[in-house]
Amino acid sequence: MTRIGFAYNQKPEQDAPLLDKATAHSGSVEDGELDRLDEEPPSKIDEYAEWDSIATIDAVANALSPLGEVIRLEADENFPELLRATNPDIVFNIAEGKNGVNREAHVPAICEFYGIPYSGSDPLTLSLCLDKARAKETLAYHGISTARFTVVRDASDLDRLVGALPFPLPLFAKPIHEGSSKGITEKNFCQTIDHLDEQVRFLLTTYQQPVIIEQYLPGAEFTCAVLGNGATARVLPIVGMNFASLPEGAVPIYGYEAKWIWDRPENPLEMFDCPAKIDANLASEIEHVTLDAYRILGCRDWSRIDVRLDAAGKPNIVEVNPLPGILPDPADNSCFPKAARAAGLSYDELIQSCLKLAAERQGVSLGRQLKKVRTASKSASRPRVTRSRKLDGPAATDSVTNRLTA
């Protein structure tokens, strides 16, 4: 039977809660906790925004279980020892990591060190995509449309910038190495130089990392779920952002407020249209630029790519997310599962499709004989058994993906 290591980071219990949609919709939120989201600055709440709730972790483990024995491997300081001791045939990776600008690359890098196949993109792609500026530089070099930008690394950079802006206002600022809308609020939309100066200084101090400043794209926004590899990679039904559902006067962005404050279980936002309500020509343009970005940045198996139209209606890449959010509850408005459902894939089929793509790409056989989920003991010390594996193989899609795109 195939032994599937499942690498993840679980949100910790906190006195001042970081609420994800799964927690909010579960009914476990006590009175007043949602109001804390309005009162606390995002930096105090969103430290673990990229990590997954136990509800998501359980859902993924259950989805994987028909394909083999699932061994839960929390991606903490014990991960290398646990991986070596349990020696899975393949690792299904959703771990976002904690420390450093290469944190999303830690699990796959350790897997490569031990010669263990894993799902998703490689360490280079994960680190590249987490650095918003480096990713945009790579895209621009290859002629992929993305908003003009500059990077502010410290206060002296900012002083020079406000003295001579390289492109016109309005501008949008955000931390360079964050995901899940960490550090992205309405205040980041800057229409004056004074506001830009104030907000960038706040971001530099709060998040202790460079800030990327982009020319604001005024058009519609979309997010695209990609499943597959190489020439067989396909965009699932495009998700369109319905900014008309935001409170009156809100900046048309899907940021911190829209994700964690305004979209509440007692009053959910009708934030998404899937499939997006756009004509075939625009859909084709969006799919084309999405797949170009996916391949150029070296994404594998799956990724979610955000696209926004400029003033002329041309699709521009905003960000590429090789570790897409995969909340299981449809009420949570998680975009990748939403696109999968629109394509006819259940949540379990989506998770299984990603693992099958990774297994086929690396020559790993998946077993279906038994459903079993267990958690590795942190005191495990079984010696590693060396296996011969095919680490690189032709890109292929599983039968579910083929059914989608036939």
Q: How confident is the model over 148-164, as pLDDT tens digits?
A: 999 999 999 999 999 89
396 inside domain: yes
| Cα separations in angstroms, 50 against 157, 177, 210, 306, 405 | 29, 12, 19, 17, 30
Same domain, 259 and 354: no
Handedness of CA 123, 126, 131, 133 (dihedral sign): positive
pTM for the predicted model, two decimal places? 0.83
- The per-residue pLDDT for 375 is 55
The average pLDDT across 162-187 equals 88
What does the pLDDT average to over 373-387?
46
Q: Which of 309, 342, 375 is a domain's end point? A: 342
- Asked if 79 and 117 sit in the same domain, the reply is yes
- Are both 209 and 278 inside the same structural domain? no
Element housing 172 (H / E): strand 171-175
Instruction: Give the closest residue to 225 by CA, choosing from 320, 152, 132.
Output: 320
Averaged pLDDT, 93-120:
96
Is 84 inside a domain boundary? Answer: yes
Are 261 and 281 contained in the same domain?
Answer: yes
Query: Quick check: bond before 275 cis, omega within 30?
Result: yes
116 and 49 belong to one structural domain = yes
Closest CA to 118 of 379, 403, 368, 357: 357
Answer whether residue 299 is part of any domain: yes
Last residue of a domain, one of 215, 246, 264: 215
In the DSSP assignment, the letter for residue 311 is T
Output the pLDDT for position 34: 40
Cβ-contact 207, 311 below 8 angstroms? no
Provide the pLDDT for residue 260. Answer: 74
pLDDT at residue 382 above 50?
A: no
Report yes or no on 200 lying in a domain.
yes
Q: What residue has token string 């309405």? A: 186
Domain limit, last residue, from 303, 319, 342: 342
Q: How many domains does the chain have?
A: 3
Q: Which two tokens stand for residue 282?
A: 């625009």
Domain shared by 11 and 122, yes or no: yes
pLDDT value for 39: 43
- Provide mean pLDDT across the span 31-52: 54
Confidence grade of residue 282 (pLDDT, cut at 50, 70, 90):
very high
Residue in 230, 122, 140, 133 with CA at minimum distance from that of residue 174: 133
The mean pLDDT value for 183-187 works out to: 88
Judgement on whether residues 205 and 222 belong to the same structural domain of the protein: no
Assigned domain for 57 exists: yes
Binning the chain into helix, strand and coil, the percentages to the nearest 5 are 40, 15, 45
222: its two tokens: 């979309």
Say if residue 7 is in the same domain as residue 124.
yes
User: Cβ of 324: how many Cβ atoms within 10 Å?
Assistant: 22
Q: Are residues 222 and 203 in the same domain?
A: no
Among the ranges given (200-214, 258-272, 312-326), the one the predictor scored with the smallest mean pLDDT: 258-272
At 25, the pLDDT band (50, 70, 90 cuts) reads very low
Does position 31 have pLDDT exceeding 80, yes or no?
no
- What is the model's pLDDT at position 14? 55
- Give a yes or no: residue 141 inside a domain: no
The answer to whether residue 198 sits within a structural domain is yes
Band (pLDDT 50/70/90 cuts) for residue 384 is very low
- Assess whether 47 and 63 both reside in one domain: yes
Mean pLDDT within 159-181: 89
Residue 21 or 305, more confident:
305
CATH number for position 162: 3.30.1490.20
Query: What pLDDT, on the 0 to 100 scale, is given for residue 397?
Result: 37
Length of the chain: 406
CB atoms within 10 A of CB 367: 14
Count other Cβ atoms within 10 Å, centred on residue 197: 16
Two structure tokens written together for 173 = 């600022």
Residue 137 inside a domain? The answer is no
Same structural domain, 372 and 331: no
Give yes or no: residues 168 and 242 share one domain: no
CA dihedral 297, 64, 240, 246 (to 10 degrees): -110
pLDDT on residue 368 = 58
377 contacts: CB under 8 Å, gap ≥ 6: none
Q: Which residues are paired to 306 by β-bridges? A: 223, 319
- Domain limits for position 265: 218-342
d(CA 105, CA 134): 15
Q: How far apart are CA 61 and CA 348, in angstroms?
A: 10
As given in the structure block, the two tokens for residue 234 are 């396909």
- Say what the pLDDT of residue 180 is: 63
Average pLDDT, the chain: 85
pLDDT tens per residue across span 211-245 = 999 999 999 999 999 999 999 999 999 999 999 99
What is the Cβ-side half-sphere exposure of residue 126, based on CA atoms within 13 angstroms? 24
